[in-house]
Chain A
């Protein structure tokens, strides 16, 4: 027993944190898939899943079991190794940002001083996965989806970064803990409304969600980059997408919507976590709402929108912010 007691505390902390994060990722995906189907159903005058469990609550769990039991079919002339690696590549970077996510004052794994940059870097790794998947599938639809994904992500990472930068200028720190702490008095959403808007629109594009779901545009490219994927490999792409939705929404919450700040809830000690999750899931609800309302934009319109509107506006916003902060 002495041996275990003498181990450094990190030895226990890291596995526990990892387990928590991974279970959060899976639970989030389960909840999001259920919510997505249920909300879509009600928006379309139907009920959505109703059969498995009360009001279909267990539907996504059953679907996950089904996907796990399915075979991963590797196409004949696909690059087998890359084809198998791609889903993992999609999943891993989506999980890493949780390391710096400030859920509550004392619930943040590490508060590194470049938290914002770290998250952006991890989130942009997602493109690699999509490109590898599209390339390795040896399918023209998948390749077209991958090509779209690369240019889309390059175009939309710039406004994401620029709009976050203007928030960082106001606070004067890259650390997410500091940014949330700063917002005790006033949410950055009120100081930087344009930056918030640009960030949110571009992050919808970053996560490849409708109306910017061009890499998987099913009416054009059947299923885009994951056309050839089946079983758990397909599920991992799905998990990656929903996790990334969670990540971008929680960044928006932390940077613009005051993070964990909110009035204390009665009879509940941990109201800060609740506030954080409430805001995050509200943003995700908006994303679902977009998806079931809008048609898909065209590829050139998508790029024009970023290069001609979002980037110039975020640059001007950044300039004004810099001048005001300096004064």
Chain B
């Protein structure tokens, strides 16, 4: 493996500037997970970035080609372990779309409920780690406190806390009961109050605003060129959310808004995510009100033959648009599965956005981007 910067050391001293290479990661407190950045530094200023990925590569896409499609489900949760349920959701929806299985409506509601809970958990984790990157240690423990409640609720339903395999082809694994709804409603009430705490603790803090305002501006042009999706895109003022643009599952039945930012700086991305959490709460309370009675799983043959052809399915994961693309040769084992993950596009824009920045700002921008490296490496 060679790097642009390492192969041409003479570049480092041109124009009389004395630059040096700084290796950031894969073990670094703020390259969450296993991202490595080779930085070209001029003192405190970052003049070039080479992201190096692949330290967490587990060949998930290859594994999908050698086993029956339904057996691959647990792997989807391990791509992005922070927000695993949308990965479940996208995969089973793709299989249902290809095989033409009708999903009972109650199952779709349960899917949406679990996915939105998972999105809340993911955004709470992001909030904590973003502020940790800015040097504030305390908020992460407040966020983990809230996130713990979601994990407990999801654990009571799905049996796992992080890598769920809850959505199944044709429905879901288990029905929700009254205690689940009760616990979720209790938690939603609590979280709404907690937003005030976060507002007081973080949003109004002058140091936080100075660190986030006008830092790491993603123009809508950059966002479009690199395929940035999710809250990072909406922070730049482009109102694109798969849940609204191409409604899947039962998302068209809910009344919710897509929060957008204006300037595309870290503060906008922060606000977008905070507001997205509030919208998730709205979706959840509507879903609990509207959920119909009925089956939770359609009849699905044990050996699921996928008709010959190709198809794709997009869902909105916590970090942006997740798209599964599958080619089938008519057997129960897919010929090829490709996952288009949101973090990949988000990470690729980093080099252009962060050039000429202070090292501290680079850390802030990376934190605000909510990168989850294992989903890039897969």
Q: Which residues of A contact B (CB under 8 A)?
A: 40, 43-46, 140-141, 144, 147-148, 210-211, 213, 217-222, 291-301
Contacts and interface: CB of A to CB of B under 8 A. Distances in A.
B138 A219 contact: no
A101 to B, nearest CB: 31
B24 to A, nearest CB: 9
Interface string B112-154: 0000000000000000000111111110011001000000000
Contacts, number: 79
A211 B207 contact: yes
Contacts of A221: 359
Contact of A217 (B20, B142, B360): B360
Given A147-B43, A298-B360, 20 more contacts: A43-B138, A44-B141, A45-B145, A144-B359, A210-B135, A211-B207, A219-B29, A219-B133, A220-B359, A222-B28, A292-B138, A293-B136, A293-B201, A295-B131, A296-B136, A296-B207, A296-B211, A296-B360, A298-B210, A299-B44
B267 to A, nearest CB: 13
Contacts of A294: 135-136, 205, 207
A220 B360 contact: yes
Contacts of B205: 294-295
Contact of A213 (B29, B41, B135): B135
Nearest to A44: B141
B208 A45 contact: no
Nearest to B367: A219
B210 A45 contact: no
Interface string B38-51: 00010110000000
Contacts of A211: 135, 207
Nearest to B201: A293
B211 A44 contact: no
A144 B362 CA distance: 15
B152 to A, nearest CB: 16
Contacts of A46: 141
A25 B116 CA distance: 53
- How many interface residues does chain B have, given as a range? 20 to 34
Contact of B135 (A44, A140, A219, A301): A219
Contacts of A295: 131, 134-136, 205, 207-208, 211
B144 to A, nearest CB: 9
B363 interface: yes
Closest 6 CB pairs of A and B: A296-B135, A295-B136, A44-B141, A295-B134, A219-B30, A295-B135
Contacts of A291: 137
Nearest to A221: B359
A219 B358 contact: no
B22 interface: yes
Contacts of A40: 137-138
B361 interface: yes
Contact of B138 (A218, A293, A299): A293
A211 B205 CA distance: 12
A291 B207 CA distance: 13
A211 B41 CA distance: 24
A144 B21 CA distance: 12
Given A217-B360, A220-B359, A299-B360, A144 B145 contact: no
A220 B30 contact: yes
A218 B360 contact: no
Contacts of A292: 137-138
Contact of A298 (B43, B145, B358): B358
A44 B139 CA distance: 8
Interface in B1-60: 20, 22, 28-30, 41, 43-44
Of B44, B137, B141, B142, chain A has the most CB atoms within 10 Å of the CB of B137
B44 A217 contact: no
A297 B360 CA distance: 9
Contact of A301 (B142, B210, B363): B210
Contacts of A296: 134-136, 207, 211, 360
A38 B138 CA distance: 13
A214 B156 CA distance: 43
A45 B41 CA distance: 39
A213 B28 CA distance: 18
A45 B363 contact: no
Contacts of B22: 140-141
A15 to B, nearest CB: 42
A115 B363 CA distance: 43
A140 B363 contact: no
Contacts of B201: 293
A222 B144 CA distance: 22
A218 B141 contact: no
26 contacts: A40-B137, A44-B138, A45-B141, A45-B142, A45-B145, A46-B141, A140-B20, A144-B44, A147-B44, A148-B44, A217-B135, A218-B29, A219-B30, A219-B135, A220-B359, A222-B28, A292-B137, A294-B135, A294-B136, A296-B135, A296-B207, A298-B211, A298-B358, A298-B360, A299-B44, A300-B358
